[in-house]
């Protein structure tokens, strides 16, 4: 496939490496080369099969609008824009393109969501809960998209909305913890990413899955197929 990767950050660079290793042609655009999505015209995207976005909350909405308007399928790993989710869904559905987003393309974190969902009913039995998330100091959004998804998973399973405590420090790849505490015991659940490799592998495999498809998808709904 011919892929366009938006973003030259740490995760984006790994995505490009994984894609090339999987025999795809990859073009990469950084922020300075694509101000306000200026490079994303229908003509410039003519030979692109799927666009993958790992940019910033500020840039991502313009990128999405430009790519979808150009009729290109898109995988978005950038977070911090979910307040516009309904508007983007309508745009994708009207355009007839394929679009898939997710706060985290790691298989492990999606298993973690399922574990948290199973444990969430503890909150109906005199347990108190909190979510803690840690990321590198350069991460723009807080709480993380993964932490917000975790919060929603637990709320849907228990009816309780847990507080999220965020830390931005050093070069932490990503750690998410859920603590359920009661007078009698404490339950600790933790997912600690050792590298960004799992994110990159998942993003590329998602782009392969999305090629030629139409519709609006979330990674949590398709990861088992991968």
CATH value at residue 100: 3.40.50.720
How much helix, strand and coil, in percent to the nearest 5, is found in the chain? 45, 25, 35
Q: Which of 24, 72, 139, 191 does the annotation list as catalytic?
A: 139
**Mean of the per-residue pLDDT values of the chain:** 94
**What is the band of 45 on the pLDDT scale with cuts at 50, 70, 90?**
very high
The alpha carbon of residue 86 and the mean position of all alpha carbons in its chain are separated, in whole angstroms, by: 16
Range scoring the smallest mean pLDDT among 178-182, 196-200, 212-216: 196-200
Residue 135 annotated to the active site? yes
Share of the chain above pLDDT 70, in %: 100
pLDDT at 104: 87
pLDDT at 225: 87
pLDDT at 211: 95
Same domain, 74 and 180: no
Same domain, 129 and 212: no
pLDDT at 158: 97
Same domain, 78 and 139: no
Helices 85-95/57-69 angle, 10° precision? 20
Same domain, 177 and 208: no
**What is the band of 178 on the pLDDT scale with cuts at 50, 70, 90?**
very high
Mean pLDDT, to the nearest integer, of 129-156? 93
Same domain, 97 and 129: no
**What is the band of 224 on the pLDDT scale with cuts at 50, 70, 90?**
confident
Torsion of CA 48, 78, 218, 111, to 10 degrees: 120
Same domain, 134 and 208: no
Q: What is the pLDDT of residues 49-90, one digit of tens each?
A: 999 999 999 999 999 999 999 999 999 999 889 999 999 999
pLDDT at 205: 94
pLDDT at 226: 80
Same domain, 93 and 16: yes
Same domain, 201 and 100: yes
Residue 12's domain comprises 2-104+197-225
pLDDT at 215: 97
Q: What is the CATH number of the domain that holds 167?
A: 3.30.360.10
Same domain, 26 and 82: yes
pLDDT at 183: 97
Residue 136 annotated to the active site? no
- The answer to whether the beta carbons of residues 122 and 180 sit under 8 Å apart is yes
Q: Which of 24, 72, 135, 191 does the annotation list as catalytic?
A: 135
Same domain, 50 and 124: no
pLDDT at 101: 96
DSSP codes joined into one string, 49-118: SEEEE---HHHHHHHHHHHHHTT-EEEE---S-GGGHHHHHHHHHHHT-EEEE-S---HHHHHHHHHHHH
Instruction: Name the 3-class secondary structure at 149.
Output: helix
pLDDT at 80: 87
pLDDT at 141: 83
Mean pLDDT, to the nearest integer, of 100-115? 92
Total of domains in the chain? 2
Mean pLDDT, to the nearest integer, of 123-135? 97
Same domain, 25 and 83: yes
pLDDT at 157: 97
pLDDT at 11: 86
Same domain, 211 and 145: no
């Amino acid at each position: 496939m011919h892929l366009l990767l938006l973003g030259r950050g740490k995760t984006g660079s790994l995505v490009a490496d994984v894609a090339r290793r999987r025999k795809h042609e990859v073009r990469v655009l950084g922020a300075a080369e694509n101000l306000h999505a200026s490079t994303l015209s229908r003509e410039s995207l003519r030979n692109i099969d799927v666009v993958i976005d790992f940019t910033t909350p500020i840039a991502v909405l313009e990128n999405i609008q430009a790519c979808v308007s150009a009729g290109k399928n898109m995988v978005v790993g950038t977070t911090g824009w979910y307040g516009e989710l309904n508007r983007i869904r309508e745009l994708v559905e009207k355009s007839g393109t394929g679009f898939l987003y997710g706060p985290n393309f790691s298989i492990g974190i999606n298993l973690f969501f399922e574990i948290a969902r199973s444990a969430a009913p503890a909150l109906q039995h005199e347990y108190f809960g909190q979510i803690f998330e840690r990321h590198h100091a350069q991460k723009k959004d807080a709480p993380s998209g993964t932490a917000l998804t975790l919060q929603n998973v637990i709320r849907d399973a228990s009816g309780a909305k847990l507080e999220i405590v965020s830390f931005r420090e050093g070069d932490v790849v990503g750690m998410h913890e859920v603590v359920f505490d009661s007078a009698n015991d404490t339950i600790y659940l933790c997912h600690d990413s050792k590298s960004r490799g799992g994110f990159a592998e998942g993003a590329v495999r998602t782009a392969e899955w999305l090629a030629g498809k139409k519709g609006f998808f979330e990674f949590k709904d398709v990861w088992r197929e991968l």
